[in-house]
Structure 1
């Protein structure tokens, strides 16, 4: 059962802004913590909103509407930015190097903004993590574009303002154009050369490539949330909201642990 611990809620509660001004009519607003626990149940199990256990969580409409409200107000990115700052203040981030990779989420129902691939129709999740595997940025896109074309968008979605010194990826990121673009930002791109490419990386920087398991581990954490592993949201922005919420949980575990 997915519920926030008291220590996690102590970190998160001050980061959730109050609701927009409303009238005194209608039922009292359910506490954010109760509603968030219901949303997290859907995120973890991948179940439909209708399947929320009656009596254990607020009604499905309350949980769904609150998720929509927070997502439309861009509260999840704001929380990620705040958690990034907290992590930085506590010296939990290591930006000497970062790792980038993409993963595939199969799109169900009538999802918008998806792309056909060999795996079927789906959405691509791009994630960048620091030297320890802490999420630094997340971006969702149609699954059709090559990952090398989504690096800049992923950097633009960074939770903080600081770029890593080095960005490490697999052969999909071996590109002279990408190397040049990142060099302008002060980032060294490290990736093994593809077979049909001239050798541009020597052995010493490539030793860092052996630590790519850290981003793969973080992707496994993301995929443990079934609503992320399989996309059920019709709207692309709602699916991104679920992915961002999963990253919030991962960061909360780090900060409150």
Structure 2
């Protein structure tokens, strides 16, 4: 399906002016580029893998915008490629390591105000009419929501604030 037909079908958002700027500076990319190295091409041949920076920028756009995968602007690799890389990077801990490197750099530069922060509850659904003290149905058992986006945004080890050097 061409980009034109997607737009006509209404499945893509109109590009905005901020869609045209890079999500990550060259300086910040150089700090984490080694984490996203592409494997060498197979001796059997085949299509080369999409540029990891373009895929990472697509992931950043998705996380920043909160849009649906199908709304990924055409300036990025295909949504299936970006999503597949996102899943691989979350599963392998690559996004977690990249996040920590970038946060440490910003912290050293004094660009993080640790006194301010917020929790985004957009992925925490509440059942309508459910009592806060109601017990979960035993047949269903307790469930916790989990998504790759949430996994990418959670810090699995000690927080940077606790770990930063004094």
After TM superposition, the score normalised by the length of structure 1 is: 0.37
CA RMSD of aligned residues (A): 3.9
Alpha-carbon displacement from aligned partner over 1:174-227 (angstroms, at most 9, x marks no partner)? xxxxxxxxxxxxxxxxxxxxxxxxxxxxxxxxxxxxxxxxxxxxxxxxxxxxxx
* Aligned residue pair count: 121
Q: CA, structure 1 residues 48+87, in 2 after alignment: closer, same or farther (shift >3 Å)? A: closer
| Structure 2: gaps spanning 5 or more residues | 1-18, 133-143, 156-166
2:84 corresponds to 1:65? yes
Q: Choose which of 112, 122, 127 in structure 2 pairs with 1:106.
A: 122
Partner residue of 1:74? 93
**1:116 pairs with 2:116:** no
Q: How does 1:224-239 map to 2 (within 5 A)?
A: 236-239=146-149
CA distance in 2: counterparts of 1:84 and 1:3, whole angstroms: 15
What is the deviation of 1:19?
4.7
Q: Say which of 71, 85, 89 aligns to 1:51.
A: 71
In 2, the alpha carbon distance for the partners of 1:30 and 1:238 equals 20
Alpha-carbon offset, residue 75 of structure 1: 1.0
Point out the structure with the larger strand share: 1
The aligned counterpart of 2:58 is 38
> Over residues 52-92 of structure 1, what are the superposed CA-to-partner deviations in whole Å (9 max), with x where a residue is unaligned?
223x111111100010110010112222333355457x464
TM-score (norm 2): 0.53
